[in-house]
Chain A
């Protein structure tokens, strides 16, 4: 556990989730008082602000300490949550994007490229959801088509050729369900990408930074080490999809989220992921810089564990890790 002496949230949150309403009210009051602070000569206003701020922070910490699986789903999908490209600009120097699958096209739902991570040359691959209407459309809301997965395969094979560690950042509701994606072999593209993850002889470190949605996530998250942010989710199908399969009613998504065990804490207990990366109080979007640092530290540590390991050992570790899942439950 880390101490609570974090910097006060530097980010002004614009979007509050439903369960954050009490916090939103407190923070609004603080802002109102701040606005008064300059003009009024009222004596105790500074004290009042401090008290309210403490109250708001306490409410935030308390709320986020016991989020339900559905609330975590909402946090994982928060529009201001840092996305793949935020981590790229925060953690990767000299990032050089690479495009295209060399068969059909370029799919910006999966971004990838070369760069330097804390002095190491790496290849980074990740789902990007976009942060405004225009970029969301361009990145297809992070839902990749076959060319996205085939690009991932190409980059992983390149990493193997040049002996570069691979970092993958997962944040997708799932692979794109559309006519063109099916036509070009969505299933085969995902299967081949998972296959490549398992075949390469360089360390592959996956971080679930938001939503790890189904096969679309597995395709790049079949890694030596799987890290997951504290309020991220990783699911066999999105809660809405699972609800529609199980109850033929997608409004039962909350029930599905609750019964499916989708939180980082549950998945750590099941042995599916290796490490939970703690988020700043109130979620990653409250302090993206701190989140970057923690993710960077965790990834660096995970990569370093494979220093001096042969390609065969690295492959073997990854395969054993997955074969072991469920065997000791």
Chain B
């Protein structure tokens, strides 16, 4: 009964979305207030019914209703509660339902937080989001119904994929989708602005907090995925340039470019046309990501060709979204004028360099991800494009990006001179060189690459902090800091996060050690300064798996440092072997052990021990970026705009219009 109720709710939501996608848009163009007034209630009706449908599917999981095929394929009565809840988004149908739930949630959030935006504008924004909902709801209803029943019903489910039975991966998809789908708000604002032809600074201001919030969630989602891969896949890698990872990374890169041009558009009224285009591309890349992951095209072009229904649907949807937006853009772009000029030495220029590099990187990741598919489809053979390719392109593009970032953080808008910047830049460069050069001395061998990366990371942090310090107005620094808007603090935090991330990546790559050992119980082995002792393997059993747990004791100069318990699990239903790494996390590095094969009858095992230097810095950097983004999005100027009384503008605001 619940499943049918859920399907019914989904159909009602679909009909509401159709109304939302047509009536307010019509009303706003024809200036019909009644039609415009439909928008907000329709949003809430849609949200409520999608939530009911989602609740029904969750209930079916909790209730072990294995007559629903989706539940039967992704759950089991012995599955722990947390994974029954997260099992809802474990596979195709349910994750799409989550997509739509989050989309409806974002739409609802727009009605709450955009009260300052004029009604006809908001009607268009909500209408565009309604149209996106129509696309996804019809995708679910026509190709991927999560509520379909199977006859005869089975008595026990096939269990959740053991890879997904993990708290990190349980919250990874919702975070990622919050980011992906959040870009739909920015997209909707861009389309609404294109329809009205009013691409003004107000539009940029309305879009900014949404972009930054979505970007922050995407950052968190990607970081969670990377962290999960690190401890769950069992060999300590944190990024694989897998197409699925690239699918989430491309909107992130494009979104990063968008955040920066939006800043320029809002503050200075420049790059309007380009910003709109970036907004369209960012959301299109989110859709492309969904298409790539969901269509099966990544596994093989032929898999897509043999079961094209779902893939074709998203592909057509993608073509409509991209094609429609670009047509609208081509129609409106000639009338978009970005008036103010700027010097080659200015923050605008630094942001343009940022954009050239980020867009080049995005395009390269896209090309590398799709290239094997094209080559295969053209019959030119099969090739692989993997980490060696991406790293060799990504690193040379990222280094100048971070250099330009430090420059941009110190530059003034519109017009600056090297003469003014020289003192600051020279001092900061010297400090970064010094700090970066000293860092590797603390490690077990000196590496020039580590010193360079250290310099780059310090440059990112020092320039960000220096920028904040200058911004805090001379004289009363501390009061100035307290009065500095959250947006600026957010930027400082995020840029420092980049610095920490750079150092983390470089030091992990350079200073991590790994050793494969063959160890009998009680045997000791020295790697570098550390001594590893293997204490054998015990059999344990979990709720839905049996495990062999080894014990590895790490000591240095006879002092106990860590006691690791790497595990090999066998999940009973799917008979799938899994490795759980034993990890002792530390600020300066992790001790990491994984259990291999049993080598003989006397309890000798293959054990891989690793020291992952600075690995936490990678995720710490990402956390800082996300925190910075959220802080910036919560800046009070985004909220108080309309309510504040009009006062005589200060003299320095005029150049923004006339400069």
Chains A and B belong together in one complex: no
